[in-house]
Structure 1
Amino acid sequence: MGAETPFADLDPDRILDAVESLGLQSDGRVLALNSYENRVYRIGMEQGPARVAKFYRPGRWTDEAIGEEHLFSAELKAADLSVVAPLEIRGRTLHPFQGHRFALFELRGGHAPEPGNREVLTHLGRVLGRMHAVGASGRFAHRGAIGIESHGEDPVHYLLENRWLPPELEGNFERLAEALFDAMDACYERAGDTTTLRLHGDCHPGNILWRDDQAHFVDLDDCLSGPAVQDLWMLAGRREDSREPWRWLLEGYETFRAFNRRELHLVEALRTLRLLHHNAWIARRWHDPAFPVAFPWFEAPRHWESVITQMQEQLAALQEPPPDPD
């Protein structure tokens, strides 16, 4: 299987053969679920509930890094947190099959939590406080950490070196990126020393299933090390509407774990890093046929004009005071 065509041989027969190689019996039904980085399928079973099979993108994570994701999920579940962790089958959670690596999960239903709702955000804060208490009890050895170099400078260099921007926008993009790096450095200086812990890493509402007035966290594929605020800021909304959401989140969070208010200086820096990293992520995956279909606007000049506008907005936001939830 060539690196340029990931998952090209992953047809329904191979998917079912992989699942049945674990001694399970499917009913032949395979439904692709929404996922770009990996391939995820709902598998009907002859006996018992349907399962979810997740096939990991070749070459992205080492087995050891995936193992840390699975162990972290298991630790969170053992702490009575509702995390959809991989199922252990035949003594392991990660399974090889004909050049692929996959894991099975329980199928969970639910919908994204309602943004701006006090009860919901306070509950999410409590859950994240408990999750971070577990995250702070150990360290990752094989997974990365969020930072300006890994999530900002490297993505910008990739986009420029591979000529993703229209030529007439490259100079403006590069100058803005340099200004953003300086402004983000200043944010990190204002935050001072922050505690690094194991995080969910991609804690946006789409990775939370809300059901029966509880949050069920899914997809720890991007778990990494970083400051606690990384798992909070995407739930608080945009800065102009975020004072009360921040108050509600931290009200719940600090029921279980103290929060360093200085980390709020990092919110706009982390938002900026997500913008840069996301665009480079799409560019790096463009050889995967799923990406041009999912992001048909990505190569259009209008998209890159929008990115530059967002960078300008972020440069202004990085100069402003941090959120004030008190």
Structure 2
Amino acid sequence: MNLIVRPLTPSAFHRLTPDLVLGLVEKVLDIRCTNLCRPLASYINRVYELEGENGEGLVVKFYRPGRWSRAALEDEHEFLLELASREIPVVAPLVLQGNGSLGEHEGMYFTVFPKCGGRSLDEYNEEQWLEIGRLLGRTHAVGAGRIPEGRITMTPDKSTRQQADYLLAGKFLPADLARQFAELTKTLIAEISPLFASTEMIRIHGDCHFSNLIYRPGESFYLIDFDDMALGPPVQDFWMLLPGYREDTFAEIDLFLEGYETFRDFDRRSLRLIEPLRAMRFIHYMAWCAYQVAEEGLSRVAPDFGTREYWQLELRDLAEQLERIKAAIEPQGNGL
């Protein structure tokens, strides 16, 4: 029962062709490209690998219309360019003709990046945990410098509430399970919102898992894909890298924080947000799948999205996570 909550409106985004892609990039960079136009995997945007006549590898990203405002995209680019100017290893967008980094064609925004190869690691050794800590400490030192104007605030009463409301308004759930979902998310938000009350909120990557952290041997780790950049708690940018629950990963947390605090203090009290953030991630993922269904008619990452079995499993997992949060023992003082 995948439901379309609004009709698809054909746009330039849905009519991209190699000729159009190459023509736009050649125009905004004032270069000539070879005929290479290779689609790359992306669940939301349209991304292509190109090549300049000089052999330079390029990646062009066309942002899905309606997902981000221009201000939100400019927030992302400003953050990336600021990080790159501090020699922090990120892949920043190229400056286009006209001195901006954001192109536009028939209401569709796009940007061009230099190609940056690397590979993701699904586990890290001790030195790599220290290195990742240093990388994110430097990133957050820059992130704390200003407040983004167009980005979501990652708190239960804002981002999670919006995502839950989207799922309910779109009627993605069967009616009886929708009532259960509404009650469960209401309870969750009320339970965890006070934990965020005094938490520092800065510009963060927002989606820092192992696939968005690429390793380049002989260089360093690079942070990539800032699509979900947000104003949020610093702890959001490392809990998804941990190989297990907090109580099972004290060694990794210690190493990470040792590297992180080389460049920036970390409030250890915010470690109590890890399990609430995990619950928020559950809802974020449901809304992400729902957005794909609303736009494309299906979710490529969750083919069974919308079935009764799908929602029963998601609701069970969310209820179990809520119980885990309620049962959690509060950390003492400023320790782990």
TM-score calculated relative to the size of structure 2: 0.89
Query: Displacement, 1:234?
Result: 1.1
Q: Over residues 151-174 of structure 1, what are the superposed CA-to-partner deviations in whole Å (9 max), with x where a residue is unaligned?
A: 222222222232212334233323
SS in structure 1 at match of 2:100: coil
Matched residue, 1:224: 230
| Distance in 2 separating the partners of 1:103 and 1:204 | 23
Look up the SS of the partner of 2:24 in the other structure.
helix
Retained in 1: the 8 A contact 2:152–2:159? Answer: no
Q: Is the 8 A contact 2:201 2:233 kept in 1?
A: yes
Within the alignment, does 1:81 sit opposite 2:88 as a pair?
yes
Calculate percent identity across the aligned residue pairs: 35
Partner of 1:187 in structure 2?
195
- Equivalent residue for 1:97? 105
Q: Is the 8 A contact 1:4 1:288 kept in 2?
A: no
How far apart are residue 186 of structure 1 and its match? 4.3
For 1:207-258, what per-residue CA distance to the aligned partner results, in whole angstroms no more than 9, with x for missing partners?
1111116111111121111111111211123315322221111111111111
Contact conserved, 2:130 with 2:260, CA < 8 A, in 1?
A: yes
CA deviation profile, 1:14-47 (whole Å, cap 9, x unmatched): 1112112222212111111111221111012222
Runs of 4+ in 1 over 6 A off after TM superposition: none
- 1:125 is matched with which residue? 133
Structure 2: gaps spanning 5 or more residues:
1-6
Which amino acid letter does the alignment assign opposite residue 184 of structure 2? L
Q: List alignment gaps of at least 5 residues for structure 1.
A: none
CA RMSD of aligned residues (A): 2.1
2:272 is matched with 265
Q: How far 1:115 sits from its partner (Å)?
A: 2.3
> Conserved in 2, the CA contact under 8 Å of 1:113 and 1:120?
no
1:109 match: 117
Q: Which residue of 1 aligns with 2:70?
A: 63
Aligned letter for 1:4? Answer: T
Residue 207 (structure 1) aligned with residue 215 (structure 2) = no
Equivalence for 2:284: 277
CA positional deviation for 1:134? 0.8
Answer yes or no: is the 8 Å Cα contact 1:54–1:103 preserved in 2: yes
On the 8 A contact 2:80/2:90 being kept in 1, the answer is yes
Secondary structure of 1:235's counterpart equals coil
In 2, distance between residues paired with 1:290 and 1:72?
33
Amino acid at match of 1:140: P
- CA distance in structure 2 between the aligned counterparts of 1:81 and 1:247, rounded to whole angstroms: 22
The CA distance in 1 between the partners of 2:243 and 2:331, in whole Å, is 11
Deviations 1:250-284 (A, max 9, x none): 11111111100111121111111111122112212
Amino acid at match of 2:229: C
TM-score computed with the length of structure 1 as normaliser: 0.91
Q: Please state whether the residue corresponding to 2:61 is helix, strand or coil.
A: strand
In 2 relative to 1, CA 250–323 (structure 1 residues): closer, same or farther, beyond 3 Å?
A: farther
Paired residue for 1:145, among 140, 153, 158?
153
